[in-house]
Amino acid sequence: MNYNWNWGIFWEPTITGEGRYIDWLLSGLGWTIAISLSSWIIALSIGTVLGVIRTLPGRSVRMATGAYVELFRNIPLLVQLFLWYYVVPQLLPLDWQFWLNGLDPRVMQVGSVVLCLGLFTSARICEQVRAGIEAQPGGQKNAALALGLTLRQTYQYALLPMAFRIIIPPLTSEFLNVFKNSAVALTIGLLELTGQTRQISEFSAQIFETFLAATSIYFLVTYLVSVAMRLLERSMRVPGFVGGARS
Amino acid sequence: MNKGLGIFVAAGLAAAFATISHAEELTGTLKKVKDGGTISIGHRETSIPFSYYDNDQKVVGYSQDIALQLVDAVKAHLGMTELNVNLVPVTSQTRIPLLINNTVDLECGTTTNNKERQKQIGFSTNFFIIGTRLLTRNGSGISDFPDLAGKNVVVSAGTTSEKVLRQMNEAKGMDMRIISAKDHGEAFVTLESNKAVAFMSDDAILYGEISKAKNPADWHITGTAQTNEVYACGMRKDDPAFKKVIDDQMAEMMKSGEMAKIYDKWFNAPIPPRSVVLGVPLGDEMKKLYAAPNDIPLQ
């Protein structure tokens, strides 16, 4: 292959005079982590609340949350992002639009991405929380209620702590998905890790080095998260339940 | 199928004996094209009026017309009666890797011939000169680059315009907020939805974007050209035999007036998809290029 390798490219000053290429890469990583964590917080909070509601007795609330889940997980992520970034602002009053457009563009970009990723993922987490609750035998809930716990306390002290232990592995995958999905932000011009990678490869023409570096960074971060979650899973294990026998 | 292939190979061999006897042994891309019976042309999908899909999903444009003539020249040079043309859509990110890994043999779109890229790929004779300017809404109050201070400005990510705008921002402390849109289409949507007051790009690209606008009369191009750049076809570097065939044909087209005809077809006549006339007369710089074809990068 007739390619001119130059791994030193990251330490060279950028062609635009804004620091070195490594600074672009790190700034991209920073945005990726910031977007992922913020979206994750939204997804986990909304997803948990909705997951609980989906297992409650009331039929109408169950249906409403069901509709929410289907809406957010059935529309492609990219379409949702364009809706949040381009369409939703157009529905606002004109002076709000004017104010928003005058802000630093990153406000709108980050806001749209975090909202989009957070809500999209919350629909998926909702289903996992529900599965975690429903995976427990009916006796669990009845026993807690028989002990005199209120419904709220039953969820708080008996069902949810167990449910979260059960769903740690799929939640880990979900977090890794948020992390990787955050690359959709580049389609609305936010220079997160993949966006910056494309920038560097365009401006320096050292395409393979840049994408290999980005691949390694993604892999390293996701791998560290997987390991951390596995440790968490082990330390939270309750003997006698899911996978608990080995401790 | 097999029979067809047989005839095809036989024809290829016959042609090979007919022409190779007098020529030196083929190397590089010419050999690949001859052996495979196919040439792969990289094109863009939305770069009006250079290389894009028309209403019938056919690749058309100024660069595409040139590419097809270059293919004919390669075919004639190799003495082939049959040459399959494989059209491969490329993006800013994929065009260089696809040339290097042999997926594409020749890329004609809106690729700037510059020194950074010359480290990785080779370039043909330049076929277009652009200036980087601003597209803005009528009545936006933007008439030149200094007016952009403190404003939101959009560029297509990875373009020379982005490079120049960021350099200007750093050097003059203009406090512009630069949005790097994914591609030209996205950049224009950003401008149209008022998220930016101006879109900086190659003037030819900006004319193309106006032609796609809901109401072309709402928009105009302004500002002093910040840089001039040359577009050329990309090919694998260090392949002098192939480059010579391409360059000779390009020079021939420029001198014979064929290139000027192609120019008029795309810049001064109605073009798909909406039959808008871009109305950009052939400038002095372009006339100079046509009179003295060269492959020198301006950046």
- CB contacts of B116 in chain A (<8 Å) are 15, 203-205
B170 and A3 within 8 Å at the Cβ level: the answer is: no
Question: Per-residue pLDDT tens for A232-244?
Answer: 999 988 887 665 4
Sign of CA pseudo-dihedral B270, B275, B279, B283? negative
Mean pLDDT of A109-132: 97
List all residues of chain B from 67 to 96 with a beta carbon under 8 Å from chain A: 92-93, 96
Poorest-pLDDT segment among A99-103, B6-10, B110-114, B211-215? B6-10
What is the band of B189 on the pLDDT scale with cuts at 50, 70, 90? very high
> Contact A1/B101, CB-based, under 8 Å?
yes
Reply yes or no on whether the pLDDT at A114 is more than 60: yes
Mean pLDDT throughout B127-142?
A: 95
| Distance of residue B215 Cα from the nearest chain A Cα, in angstroms | 18
Q: Give Cβ neighbours of residue A125 (< 8 Å, ≥ 6 apart).
A: A43, A44, A46, A47, A48, A51, A171, A174
Angle at A8 between CA A24 and CA B165, to 5 degrees: 40
Segment B179-196 shows an average pLDDT of 91
Whether B187 shows a pLDDT value over 60: the answer reads yes
pLDDT digits (tens, 9 = 90+) for B22-39: 456 899 999 999 999 999
CB B269 within 8 A of CB B154: no
The encoded tokens of residue B260 equal 């000027």
Please tell me the pTM assigned to this model: 0.79
- Closest alpha carbon within chain B to A108: B195
> Using a CB-CB distance cutoff of 8 angstroms, which residues of chain A are in contact with residue B157?
186, 189, 191, 195, 198-199, 202
Q: Kindly state whether B166 is in contact with chain A, defined as any CB-CB distance less than 8 angstroms.
A: yes
pLDDT above 70 for B82: yes
Taking a C-beta distance cutoff of 8 angstroms, is the pair A220, A203 a contact?
no
Asked whether residue A245 carries a pLDDT value surpassing 70, the answer given is: no
For residue A17, what are its two tokens? 């005079």
Separation of alpha carbons A129 and A52, rounded Å: 7
Helix (H, G, I), strand (E, B) or coil at B207: helix
Q: Average pLDDT, stretch A31-51?
A: 97
Of B148 and B92, the structure prediction assigns the larger pLDDT to B148
**B1 pLDDT tier (thresholds 50, 70, 90):** very low
Confidence of residue B4 (pLDDT cuts 50, 70, 90): low
Taken as a whole, chain B contains a residue count of 299
In chain B, the percentage of residues whose pLDDT exceeds 90 is 77
In this prediction, residue A244 carries a pLDDT of 45
Which tens digits make up the pLDDT trace of B238-261?
999 999 999 999 999 999 999 999
Q: What is the pLDDT of residue A52?
A: 95
Which two three-digit tokens encode residue B75? 């075919």
User: What pLDDT band is residue A3 in, cutting at 50, 70 and 90?
Assistant: confident
Report the relative pairing of strands B177-181 and B152-156 from DSSP bridges: parallel
Helix (H) or strand (E) holding A161: helix A160-166
Q: What confidence tens digit (pLDDT) does each residue in A146-164 have?
A: 999 999 999 999 999 999 9
- Say what the pLDDT of residue A16 is: 86
Q: What is the largest CA-CA distance in chain A?
A: 75
How much is the pLDDT for A246?
A: 44
Q: For residue B279, what pLDDT is reported?
A: 87
**Chain B neighbors of A101, CB-CB under 8 A:** 152, 194-195
Residue B175 contacts A where some CB pair is shorter than 8 Å: no
Please report the pLDDT score of residue B98 as a whole number: 95
Residues A182 and A117: beta-carbon distance below 8 Å: yes
| Average of per-residue pLDDT across B46-56 | 92
Peptide bond into B49 cis (omega under 30): yes
pLDDT at residue B159, rounded to an integer: 85
Q: In sequence order, which residues have a C-beta less than 8 Å from that of residue B12 and are 6 or more positions away?
A: B34, B37, B80, B82
Confidence class of residue B2 from pLDDT cuts 50, 70 and 90? Answer: low
